[in-house]
């Protein structure tokens, strides 16, 4: 009997997507987190969230689970053209109870759980910036509010809580930034010195746009920023900025030909290997026998199918990384994490922007705070897949 599950043969040629049902979140391997509702959630009956992020940290000898993601405001059906910042939930266990971070002692009049918002610009003081001018809400010619925050992550590193997030395409400048807590996970947070004038990294195409989807990777006493689909930089020891600040290095990857648009880069280390995650849309294609297949390669007359997570593996943080494989169907723009018992999980949210979960029959079940169990194929296979069969594990942590 094999001790570990085996790697699946990859669809050929390189760049085809694996859409098999076993790689989907299912009732036997996943569940939706019971996050505490905010007033805006009462009508829907659950939290609407994109880019779901969950992690587990040990603080003072006890596990602290955190959850966050992209939010929307009442009256809008998506997180654009504006939203009102970052909410955080905490729990003692993966199953909960999941409570909004208690921010009432910091801002008694604000909505509970909101740890940062462009609305907090009035808290700026000499020597302490909470909201930079480029992060503030603004109004277009029709007096419509614009500017939003996407894809936040919460991290606990060297005894301090951090949030890394990015401003979206409707902001004055789109790009990634770092918030540093001066208290607990609830804050109060201030902006890192390196983001007082701009997001991290280099402008993309023109000044208002920088690389987005910032992620934080830590190992020992060192921390790195992971930007968009291929860039990284090490943080200074004081975590106030990255080095270098421009002309950032790139991961050594095995790209597709041609390379599609990728986002949601995230690095997860397990059993001595580095796993580089990307979010990629699988799209319909036609196989040689005329049947329908799925590909990550760009092309004409394609329709979006699922927002997948694809993963590459390396012995080193910077690479070189292996060819990518489909680790989970429909769980893209996520993160991998380990619970207090050593079990591996991935997050998912069911992207309502297109494809399978945009169908009117399914869209009401999209934008969720989901977690799905992972399985490791051992030291020889070195892959992490969505758990492909029900092994009788209890879903919990």
Which pLDDT score, from 0 to 100, does residue 157 have? 98
Q: Quick one: average pLDDT of 43-71?
A: 97
| Phi, psi torsion values for 61, nearest 5 degrees | 80, 0
For domain 33-250, give the fold. Answer: Tachylectin-2; Chain A (2.115.10)
Q: What is the pLDDT of residues 38-50, one digit of tens each?
A: 999 999 999 999 9
Which pLDDT score, from 0 to 100, does residue 390 have? 46
- Asked if pLDDT for residue 301 goes beyond 90, the answer is no
Strand, coil or helix: what is 332?
coil
Which pLDDT score, from 0 to 100, does residue 288 have? 72
Short-list 253, 197, 250, 203, CA closest to 227: 250
Which pLDDT score, from 0 to 100, does residue 393 have? 37
- Asked if pLDDT for residue 395 goes beyond 70, the answer is no
Which pLDDT score, from 0 to 100, does residue 119 have? 96
Q: Quick one: average pLDDT of 254-274?
A: 97
Residue with tokens 């504006």: 82
Q: Quick one: average pLDDT of 363-369?
A: 97
Based on the number of CB atoms within 10 Å of its own CB, is 284 exposed (0-12), middle (13-18) or buried (19 or more)?
Answer: middle
Which pLDDT score, from 0 to 100, does residue 292 have? 82
Other residues' Cβ atoms within 10 Å of the Cβ of residue 112: 17
Per-domain residue ranges of the chain: 1-32+253-349+358-391, 33-250
Percent residues over pLDDT 70 in the chain? 97
pTM of the predicted model as reported, rounded to 2 decimal places = 0.96
- Asked if pLDDT for residue 392 goes beyond 50, the answer is no
Based on the number of CB atoms within 10 Å of its own CB, is 164 exposed (0-12), middle (13-18) or buried (19 or more)?
Answer: buried
Which pLDDT score, from 0 to 100, does residue 245 have? 95
pLDDT band at 2 (very low <50, low <70, confident <90, very high): low
| Phi, psi torsion values for 209, nearest 5 degrees | -115, 125
Q: Quick one: average pLDDT of 15-22?
A: 95
- Provide CB contacts within 8 A for 30, sequence distance 6+: 348, 370, 371, 372, 373, 395
Token code pair at residue 125: 């003081």
Q: Quick one: average pLDDT of 241-249?
A: 96
Other residues' Cβ atoms within 10 Å of the Cβ of residue 369: 25
Q: What is the pLDDT of residues 79-133, one digit of tens each?
A: 999 999 999 999 999 999 999 999 999 999 999 999 999 999 999 999 999 999 9
Look at 66-75, 135-144, 197-206, 371-380 and tell me which has the smallest mean pLDDT.
135-144
- Asked if pLDDT for residue 173 goes beyond 70, the answer is yes
pLDDT band at 152 (very low <50, low <70, confident <90, very high): very high
Which pLDDT score, from 0 to 100, does residue 299 have? 87
């Amino acid at each position: 009997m094999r001790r570990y599950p085996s790697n699946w043969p990859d669809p050929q040629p390189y760049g085809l997507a694996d859409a098999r049902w076993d790689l989907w979140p299912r009732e036997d391997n996943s569940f939706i987190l019971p996050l505490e509702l905010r007033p805006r959630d009462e009508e829907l009956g659950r939290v609407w969230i994109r880019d779901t992020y969950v992690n587990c940290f040990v603080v003072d000898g006890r596990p602290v689970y955190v959850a966050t993601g992209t939010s929307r405001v009442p009256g809008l059906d998506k997180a654009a053209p504006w939203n009102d910042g970052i909410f955080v939930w905490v729990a003692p266990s993966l199953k909960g109870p999941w409570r909004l971070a208690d921010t009432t002692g910091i801002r008694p009049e604000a909505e509970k759980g909101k740890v940062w918002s462009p609305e907090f610009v009035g808290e700026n003081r000499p020597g302490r910036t909470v909201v930079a001018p480029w992060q503030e809400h603004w109004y277009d010619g029709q007096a419509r509010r614009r500017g939003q925050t996407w894809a936040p992550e919460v991290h606990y590193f060297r005894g301090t809580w951090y949030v890394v997030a990015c401003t979206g395409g409707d902001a004055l400048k789109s790009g990634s930034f770092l918030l540093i807590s001066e208290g607990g996970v609830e804050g109060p947070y201030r902006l890192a010195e390196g983001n007082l004038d701009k997001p991290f990294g280099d402008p993309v195409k023109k000044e208002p746009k920088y690389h987005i989807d910032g992620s934080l990777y830590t190992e020992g006493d060192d921390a790195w920023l992971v930007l968009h689909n291929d860039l990284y930089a090490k943080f200074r020891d004081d975590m106030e900025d990255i080095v270098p600040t421009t002309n950032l290095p790139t991961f050594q990857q095995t790209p597709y030909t041609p390379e599609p648009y990728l986002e949601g880069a995230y690095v997860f280390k397990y059993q001595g290997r580095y796993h580089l995650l990307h979010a990629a849309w699988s799209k319909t294609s036609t196989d040689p026998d005329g049947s329908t297949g799925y590909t990550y390669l760009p092309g004409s007359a394609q329709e979006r199918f699922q927002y997948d997570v694809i993963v590459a593996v390396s012995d080193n943080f910077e690479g070189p990384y292996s060819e990518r494989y489909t680790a989970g169907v429909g769980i893209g723009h996520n993160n991998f994490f380990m619970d207090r018992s050593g079990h591996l999980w991935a997050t998912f949210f069911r992207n309502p922007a297109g494809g399978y979960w945009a169908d009117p029959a399914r869209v009401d079940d999209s934008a969720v705070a989901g977690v799905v169990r992972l399985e490791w194929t051992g030291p020889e296979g070195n892959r992490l897949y969505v758990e492909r069969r029900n092994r009788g594990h209890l879903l919990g942590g």
